[in-house]
Amino acid sequence: MPRHGPPFRDRFTYFSWDAKEWIKLQPLNWTTDEINRTVETVWLTDATVQGYYANRVGLNPAIRPGLPAPNPLPIQSYTAFQLQYAKLHRRLPAGPAPGPPPAPGPPPAPPPAGPAAVPPPAAIPPAQPPAQGANVHGAVAPIRVNTTTLHYLPDLATVNHDLPTMDAVNLAHNAQDATAAGLRYPKWEREGRRWHGVRQLGEGAFASVGLWVATNETNIIERRVAVRDLVNGADKWINPIYWRDHLPREIAIQVRLNRKKAHHHHVHRYYGHRIDFRKRRYRVFSQVCDLGNLAHALDWYSRKWRKRRNMSKWIDRFPTEELREATWAAIQNSKVEIRNAEASRNPQRVEELMGNKLYQEFGDTSDLEEWHNADLDEDLPRVIPEWFLWKIFDQLVDAFSMLGSGRVHNRVGEEEEKDEQDDWKEIVHRDCSLQNIFVKPSSRGAGERFDHGLRSMRRSHRFDEFRRQNAPKVVLGDFDYAFFDLQSQDDAYADNPSNYIVRSHPEETGEVGGRYPPEMFWCYRGHANEPYEKLTSKTDVWGLGHVMWNLVMNLPGKDGALQQPFFLDTDDNGERVERQLVNGHPYSLEEQQRIFSGQTPFEASSFYSTQLKNTIIGCLSYRQGDRLGFNDLKQITRQFTGTHEVPEDSQAHGRLIIQVNADIEALAVGSTYREIEEYTPSEEEVQGGNRASAGIEEQDDDYDIHAIAGIGGDDEDDDMAEPEEHEEGVEDDEDDGNDDLSALAENEEQGEDDDITEIEEDEE
């Protein structure tokens, strides 16, 4: 409501004043939110009201007209959903309206010049008994009918863009067809450049990712984009839990983050999307991050520490040379039998052999034939330098702050500025993992070739060495598991946490269950009584702590990570065991601190400072309320980034070694485009890309896609060169040639390419 009376400069303010003056005189008992929603909804949906006030801007208050007749205000307030629908469609959703108000009395008098008494309210006709089917407010209750009109879905005419058909059973079969069909992004394709679908980067059960480049008339690459194609099941496609803002939830979240320019703060950059509603699929256009995901980039370290872990486990199980030789022979025989059963097309026998406990535990252990009878090396492998871990920690804190509050945290002592008009809803990522964190090169120069020690497993990959000044940076991506609360104050049912919990107990999710925090399982103590404990940004704090724990351990598990933090202990029989922190039971601080025991084969943690390890421990508390917040974390991480030194007790120094994909590097903006021989993954890589999600609700089988889902360009800043900007958490734009792909932001009213959401970018 305006602070002062009329005259006003715009017609809506006149209507708002008149409406609120009338509402004050009625016995409606509406809240301020209900009043504001109703006034705005009426204005958006009633052209007669807009016309009535059209010629009254600037009128003298003495001749102000008051509300039109008949009174356009309902006697039952409009809901948040009705307002949102009105903003998008300029009409109310289908179904009965809240009902007309009582006959209006005379228009409200202008504000008195002195302390004159307020005129009494107009007479209201006596209330009549509600009609059959009416609610307590007098409005007719909506009739529940079976219909395909689902108000949370977009207007079909604006989103049904034809995309290539996808075979959800085997996306590799139609990858070439999808490439041949074109980029399917008309705005970009109209610009005269030639777009090339360079190669398919990966595929899972429901999605695939390809790299596209645009060349000019001289065959020079001018733009690059990662294109993610996803197909949905019928039940998921029409489930309101998977929709927000009339868009698939994953896209809606990226649109909201782009409006906040979150890509300046280490959030994976999003360019736009296309939706083919009838085929239940969409295509998302994102930034290219040349160095893949974090597990892929740090492979030089993880392979050495994973080998040490596997050897230690093998030696503990089979302590004598004779026992190891016999076990190795048995595993080899099982592999031969499996190949023979596959050749004879006997799937039952294959399943029986692969179900053998010994084979499951050691059958696909890397390089077992080379060291099955060797002793554990006394010399420890090299570890990731601590300065890089603090850099990752700090940048991810900024990214998660953007998700949680729509802003990054300021310096200590500064009050955080808040926009009163900001209706930001906390976004919970739910799936912080090494595969969902992408690595981008810095503009401060490339690394130096590192040819000592370990060769890459792929012919197109190599290892480069980086100094602190030109080290890569990371961005947080993959939002298909993220959400913000669907429930509003008018909804009877709460979606959080019920619709975002994975299973009853981590054991039901197999090996992937330990990557999720305790509150994502029904066995969590916070869900013991109603109301259940909601998932919040503290859920992502645990996920970030889990990632940092893996990095301090130097990624010793399968695919570069262990799925759950653990500590070494002995059972009643004296056997060494691993216990999970996510086990459905509260754990003590002593147990939590023992995750960094430094015992064999996890000596890597002993190289890092106490400050780093304690900060990680502060993220992994069982109850959300006991964990550090992102504001707390920022005050710690900023002390050890940029030009600041790491804590004195750290022994993890030196340069950083990163795995580089030479093929992707050759496709940088400004390079001459050349055809690249299609890469055929090995059997081991195919198995890794198709591993199942162990029945977790909504989790797609596209882990390997995430290694390259954002394949980026060079950055304009560096934490050493611009320490002030780094402390503010500002990340400059990447040189992917896409800075001018920004024109479409608010086109709902015009109906122009409604689903292509290109957010306006700064021209800095």
Mean pLDDT score across all residues of the chain: 78
At 192-243, the pLDDT tens digits run: 678 888 887 777 767 888 899 999 889 999 999 999 999 888 889 999 999 9
At 310-347, the pLDDT tens digits run: 999 899 889 999 999 999 999 999 889 999 998 998 88
| CA nearest to 569, candidates 543, 547, 542, 590 | 590
Its pTM stands at 0.73
DSSP 174: G
Burial class (CB in 10 A: 0-12, 13-18, 19+), 19: buried
Task: Name which residue leads in pLDDT, 316 or 57.
Answer: 316
pLDDT score, position 221: 93
Contacts of residue 178, defined as CB under 8 A and 6 or more positions apart, other chains included, come to 164, 166, 197, 208, 210, 229
Q: Cα separation of 146 and 226, whole Å?
A: 40
Task: Name which residue leads in pLDDT, 19 or 492.
Answer: 19
Which of 217-221, 293-297, 675-679 shows the lowest per-residue confidence on average (mean pLDDT)?
Answer: 675-679
Residues in the chain: 764
Give me the amino acid identity at 328: W
Edge-to-edge strands of the sheet including 656-661?
Answer: 448-449, 461-466, 656-661
Cβ density class 224-242: b for 16+ within 10 Å, e for less: bbbbbbbbbeeeebebebb
Structure tokens at 11: 């017609």
At 251-266, the pLDDT tens digits run: 999 999 999 999 999 9
pLDDT score, position 454: 57
pLDDT score, position 492: 76
State yes or no: pLDDT of 178 exceeds 70. Answer: no
Neighbours of 342 (CB within 10 A): 13
Three-state secondary structure call for residue 714 = strand
State yes or no: pLDDT of 479 exceeds 90. Answer: yes
At 640-676, the pLDDT tens digits run: 998 889 999 999 999 999 999 888 888 999 999 887 5
Instruction: Give the mean pLDDT of 607-633.
Output: 96
Tokens 């025991």 correspond to 597
State yes or no: pLDDT of 392 exceeds 80. Answer: yes
The verdict on domain 175-288 having CATH code 3.40.50.720 is: no
**So what CATH class is 387-411+424-433+480-648?**
mainly alpha
At 721-761, the pLDDT tens digits run: 333 334 344 455 445 655 444 433 333 333 333 333 333 33
Give me the amino acid identity at 756: I
Sign of CA dihedral 462, 468, 472, 476: positive
pLDDT score, position 410: 60
Three-state secondary structure call for residue 402 = helix
Tokens 């601190």 correspond to 593
- φ/ψ region of 99 (left if φ > 0, alpha if ψ in -120 to 50, else beta) reads left
Instruction: Give the mean pLDDT of 584-611.
Output: 91
pLDDT score, position 203: 74
Which of 57-61, 396-400, 616-620, 706-710 shows the lowest per-residue confidence on average (mean pLDDT)?
Answer: 706-710
Structure tokens at 455: 């060769």
Instruction: Give the mean pLDDT of 606-633.
Output: 96
What would the 3-class secondary structure string for 503-572 be?
ECCHHHHHHHHHHCCHHHECCCHHHCCCCCCCCCHHHHHHHHHHHHHHHHCCCCCHHHCCCCCEEEEECC
State yes or no: pLDDT of 686 exceeds 80. Answer: no
Query: Would you say 110 and 5 are in contact if contact means Cβ atoms under 8 Å apart?
Result: yes
Tokens 């003495």 correspond to 62
State yes or no: pLDDT of 158 exceeds 60. Answer: yes
